[in-house]
Structure formats: structure tokens, C-alpha cells
Structure 1
Amino acid sequence: MNDTARLMNDLDVVVSTLSPEIDINKLVVRLEEVLSNYEIHRKSQKDIENDIQEKIDIFLSARKVEGLSNLTLDGYKLELGLFAKYMNKAVVQITTSDIRKFLAHNENWMISTVDRKLSVLKSFFAWLVREEMLLRDPTAKIKAPKKPKRLPKGLSVEELEIVRESCENLRERALMEVMYSTGCRLSEIQNLKTSDINIQEMNARVIGKGDKERVVYLSFKALHHLRSYLKSRDDECEFLFVTERRPIRKMSDRNIERIVDQIEARANISKKLSPHTFRHTFATLAMENGADLADVQQLLGHEDPATTLIYSHVSEERKKQAHKKYHVQ
């Protein structure tokens, strides 16, 4: 069978699948008329196998133009690169079973890891279908794995004080207080500039997920320690938290995580300390003190109220524990 005949046969199968009532004989005649004007060469198996990386590159370029952050794009690039290496076949040949096998092939992957990989693959294949590079989405029938409901572990008031006392310099204390007071994500803290701070209003403007801006607030304590830290600096860097070594520049996310790790080692508390722990603590204590769910949602920058709702569960759990502890039988 020559390449033209192969193409006609493939088109015949596709069209008859999409439109079962079509007149096949008329279709064949029309296809012959159209294809006679073209010189057709079928791709080699090697060319077909290499197309997955080509599609990934186009996808990443398109999402970059759409405004996705470099952090998100790097995550997509890493996950899709691993998938391409495992799959090593044409995108059009990838089936739902192939994807399920990929997600199940590593027994050491946690449910959260599988969920993240599936989320990236769903985004990729859905985009290919929207762009009409693919007729069907092989991930459409795959459901996200059920994740165990783990309550976020914020610090108690007592633990928070221990952490405060474990800070050894002005930068550590200012960083810790701003993370707790604002409930910001790590990337939001990292990208804060001194010009984003409004001392009179005791607030700051941050750019969150989806490039959305919101206002967060600084407590008197956070503002006091932040001002002390800023006065101690002798540089012209525009960012709020900067490196101590020259050239002075914005702290990386790993720099911030390392500082939090050092504070955790000194505090010696039972809970794991991370930048996100302060965000959990802010939300948990706010709900404990009667904050409205909608207000906490806005302060945290959650798009979906259901994401914030987990903190109300924390509050109920603590009430339950308190009842068990103090209720007279």
C-alpha cells in the first residue's frame, strides 16, 4: 500500500467513526480528487516517536504566552519530560491504559505525587484537543486519586511563642512575623518589595496565584520587627527580604526554607516547621478566634471557598478535643 492509499484509508476510518451515516463511496471519490493534487510522504516511525517532545515544547510556549509563571512552567516541563521519556511513542498513539500504567509504575510515588502528575497530563492533553492536534483526550476517563484528608498542622499559641524566641537575628524575626501575620505563600513572600509595604495602613500588596493581586495585613508586632530589620540594612535592593552576602539580592525560595529549617532546629518543637506552616497557623488561629470564612478566604487568596473550609474543620477538631479533655463524665 502506497502512502496516498494509507492516508485515504486512515481518513476513511476517522470520518466514518465521527459520522457513521456518511456515504463511504462518495467520500472515497472526493478524497481521491483532493489527494491527487498532493505529493504524500508518510512519516517514519522515528519521526512519529519524536513528536511527543515537539508537542510538549509547543504546549509550554503557548502556556508561557498565556501568562503562566516560570515556576509553574518549570514544573510542567519537568513532569512532561519524565512522561515523554517513559512513554517514547507518538502522542496520537498514547492510550488511557498507557497513562494509567505510567501513573502506577513507581510504587514509591505518594498519592499527592500521582495526583500532581495526572493534573499536568490532563492539562497537556486537554490543550492538545482544544488546539485540534488530537481528536480525543486519553486522560478524560482517569479520575484523580482519593487523597487522605489530613488536617493542616498549624502552630499552637505556645508553639508560636517558642518559635519567636528561637529567632537569632533581625532578618529571621522579621521574616517569621511577616509570614505569620500575612499568611502569604512562600513565592509571595519571596517577591515582596519594600515599595509594596504601606506602613501607615499596615498592609502590603502581593501578587498571588494566577497573577492576582490582593492586600494582606501586618500586625503591630510584624511591623515593628520589619522596620528594625529594614533599618539594619545597608543596601539599595528593592526586595523586602534579601541575602546577607554581597552582591545583595532577592532571597531564593531555598534561602527562606533554609532559614526556617534553622529556626525549627533551635525551637525543637514536635511539629515540622516550613514557610507554609506559618500560613496554616495564620488561618487556623484566625478561625479559632472567630474570623469569618469568607474573610479568611480573601486574606489567603483562595479562589475556591472549599480550600479555606478545611480550617473550619481544624477548629471543630480542637473543640472536640477540648470537650473530651474537660467534660465531666
Structure 2
Amino acid sequence: MNWKQAIKDYQHYMKIERGLSDNSIFAYSKDLTKLADYLSEFDSAITPMSIQKENLQQFIYELAKVVNPRSQARIISGLKGFFNYLIFEDYRKDNPMDLIESPKIGRKLPDTLSFDEIDNLISKIDLSKAEGERNRAILETLYGCGLRVSELINLKLSNLYFDEGFIQVTGKGNKQRFVPIGPMTIKYVNIYKNQMRTHMPIAIGHEDFLFLNRRGKQLTRAMIFTIIKRLAEKAGLQKNISPHTFRHSFATHLLEGGADLRAIQQMLGHESITTTEVYMHVNRKYLSDVLVMHHPRQKIND
């Protein structure tokens, strides 16, 4: 089996067996194609079944010259997954990546916005334009529910359970979860949904998607990024923000407000509590205050 066929089969496995998103499948496939292209320059006879640790070490050595340690670690992790798949399918008996270590990288703390910064961003939305109410509802939903951008653009009318105070979202691996939605977010979504969206021409096949573009079609990830970047420029915000910044801010502000980490984990749809724990490192001053306020030995008597 050559590299082209192996990558194609692996794509099918990632989609059907693992339920990965199209973006994840594209990223893993791109990394494997880089490896295949690299090998073709030296020895086209090396196949996914015959490649050895030494070949992969040389590839990663060359890779380290052009990508940062974080990207390098991601590619190494992806390659390990690919060879584990080959073992699972009985194409190989071993994983040549087993003894190859990822570079040491520090934990990257997420960027966050203060409540005032978020308020300022939303205030820059031009509500006199047709898309204004939609953009406000988008930002309120990102921040109010802590959604990933993919979860936002795939949110459907049939996923809204406003009477119960929840929305249903489809996260990574096509896993569905219910996320609480507050009265203010419901208010702005309803304004867009009932006053603006009902007057739009909606394209066939897009009738159930909540957020639509001017042609009545589902919004893209790129469009959400563009909306946020333009608002940041209007607000004079110097931070480099993205849709994910609102998700980080959602989790950080909940934690600072006293929310339980396990509850935040469920709302964010994190499989592991370790992923959620990154927010414990965002505001060390807050953690210090919590210790003084709540630990019986640390309270200072007036």
C-alpha cells in the first residue's frame, strides 16, 4: 500500500470510526502528505509499512528547522496516531514513532478579554445595518455560552430549547451536549431570529441554520473571524483576538465568579478536566484571593 492510498484510508477511518471534524482530518492528512513528499525525494520505495524510526527522525529534524516546537509536537502526535491506526488494521506490528519524543513546550495560557473589553467590542456593532443584530447575537452567544466557532456556525433552530434554558451543540468528534444559555443571550438571539432572520431569503438546505449570511446560507468560520477582527479594529483593541478568545473569556470569568471547575468542563465540552485546568493558571491573583477568603487558617480576624 502506497502513501496516497494509506492517507485516503486513514481519512475514512478518522471520519467514520473516530468522528473527527473536517478541519482535523485536513490537518492530519496535510502532515502525512508532507512526510510522503519528503520521503519521495530520497527513496520512493519507503512505504507506510516499511518506514523506520530513522527515516522519521530525519524528517522531524528537517521539520524543526521550519516550524515552531508547538507545531512540531502536534505533527509528532498526529504521526503516532497514524501508525497506531496501521497497527490496528494489521498493516504493521510496531509504531516507529514510539521512541520519538515531542519537544518540550510550555503550557500556553489562553488570551482573554475583560468584561469591559467585550462590552466595548459589542458596542461597536452598527445596528443600523442589516447584519448588525446578527453580529450582536453571534458575539453574545460566543461569550454567553462559551462555544467553539464550529459549534456556533452549526447551531440550528431545532437546537434551541429556550424554555428550558439550554441549547444543544455538536462538539469535537460529533459529540453532542447541552449548554445552558442565559436570559440576555436568549434576548439578543430572539431579536435577530424573530425580527431579522424571518425577513431573509433562505437558501435551500440552510433553513435550519440559525446564523446566515446575506445570501441566506450558513456562515463560515472565516466570516466569524472577519467580523471579530473588524470590530477589534473599530474598538482600538490591541490584543490579537479570535472567536476562541470569547470561549476563553467565558471560562475565565466563570471561574473568577466562583463556578465549579467540573461544571465549566461540562459546559465547554472538554473530555478531560486537565484541559479545563488551564484556566486555573490565568489569574494567579484571583487564586491567591480565594485562598485567603476561604481557607480557615488564612482568614485574618478584624
More helix per residue: 1
In the alignment, is the contact (CA less than 8 A) between 1:287 and 1:315 conserved in 2? no
What is aligned with 1:85?
A: 37
Over the matched positions of the two proteins, sequence identity in percent amounts to 32
Give the root-mean-square deviation of aligned CA atoms: 2.0
Which residue matches 1:327? none
Partner of 1:308: 276
SS in 2 for 1:155: coil
Where does residue 272 of structure 1 map in the other structure?
240
The Cα shift of 1:306 comes to: 0.6
CA offsets, 1:272-327, max 9 Å, x none? 221000000000000000000100000000010011111112232455699xxxxx
Quick one: distance in 2 between partners of 1:104 and 1:170?
50
Letter in 1 for 2:125: C
2:196 corresponds to 1:232: yes
Whether contact under 8 Å (1:112, 1:147) holds in the other structure is yes
Segments of structure 1 that go 5 or more residues without pairing to the other structure are 1-49, 323-329
**Greater Cα offset, 222-231 or 313-322:** 313-322
Match of 1:211 among 174, 184, 188: 174
Q: Which has the larger radius of gyration?
A: 1
Distance 1:262 1:202 in 2: 31
Contact 2:148 2:243 in 1 (8 A): yes
Q: Tell me which of 46, 51, 61 is aligned to 2:12.
A: 61
Q: 1:140 corresponds to which residue?
A: 98
Residue deviations 1:156-212 (CA, integer Å, cap 9, x gap):
122122112122211111100000011011110010001111121222000111221
Q: CA deviation at 1:93?
A: 3.2
**Which residue of the partner structure matches residue 112 of structure 1?**
70
Write out aligned runs for 1:1-329 (5 A): 51-66=2-17, 67-88=19-40, 89-106=46-63, 107-168=65-126, 169-230=132-193, 231-233=195-197, 234-235=199-200, 236=202, 237-244=207-214, 246=215, 248-318=216-286
Q: CA 1:105–1:321 in 2, change beyond 3 Å: closer, same or farther?
A: farther
Structure-1 separation of matches of 2:147 and 2:234: 23
Q: Secondary structure at the match of 1:82?
A: helix
Residue of structure 1 in register with 2:294 after alignment? none
**Aligned partners of 1:51 and 1:90 also within 8 Å:** yes
What is the letter of the counterpart of residue 100 of structure 1? Q
> Partners in 2 of 1:320 and 1:83 — Cα distance?
47
Larger relative contact order, structure 1 or 2 (CA cutoff 8 Å, min sep 6)? 2
Deviation at 1:95, TM superposition (A): 1.8
Shift of 1:54: 2.2
Shift of 1:232: 0.9
- Post-superposition, which runs of at least 4 consecutive aligned residues in structure 1 deviate over 6 A? none
Q: Which residue of 2 aligns with 1:43?
A: none
Residues in 2 aligned to 1:270 and 1:240: alpha-carbon distance in whole angstroms: 31
- TM-score norm. by structure 2 comes to 0.84
Give the count of matched residue pairs: 272
User: Does structure 2 retain, via aligned residues, the 8 Å contact 1:152–1:280?
Assistant: yes
Cα separation, partners in 2 of 1:321 and 1:95, compared to 1, 3 Å: farther
**C-alpha displacement at 1:64, in angstroms?**
2.8
| Alpha carbons 2:20, 2:172 under 8 Å: kept | no
Distance 2:163 2:221 in 1: 28
